[in-house]
Amino acid sequence: MGKNKKKVGNVFKVAGAKSLKLKAKAKAVSSDLKQINVKNKSKIAELDSALKSLESKMRVPEVPAPKELVSTKKKLPSTNSLETDKKAEETLKDLDNFQF
């Protein structure tokens, strides 16, 4: 059991030592991580500035030209009680004729 398992490469290496002595202490490899962090921070700064400019454009409301005031009154449909009563009676008759 476990004969075919391969060893995983070390994450740590001896930094600054040419010979691999037993007393040399292992340190984390961070040079690549620092470069990645610098690139990420610069991209984040660029995006933040772009979003701030976009946000400022969106918040400034454009002042529309004043419209001419034209008063138009629309007539509302009149509610005639006779018409509504007739419609109600017709629907009741239709429901009576409807077979379940």
pLDDT 10s digits, 14-40: 666 555 555 666 666 667 778 888 999
Do the Cβ atoms of 27 and 12 come closer than 8 Å? yes
Q: What's the pLDDT score for residue 39?
A: 93
Q: Which residue has the higher pLDDT, 50 or 13?
A: 50
pLDDT of the residue at 44: 95
pTM score, two decimals?
Answer: 0.32
Sign for the CA dihedral angle at 69, 71, 77, 80 comes to positive
Summarised one tens digit per residue, pLDDT across range 41-83 is 999 999 999 999 998 888 876 677 777 766 677 766 666 778 8
Measured distance CA(69)–CA(91) in Å, rounded? 45
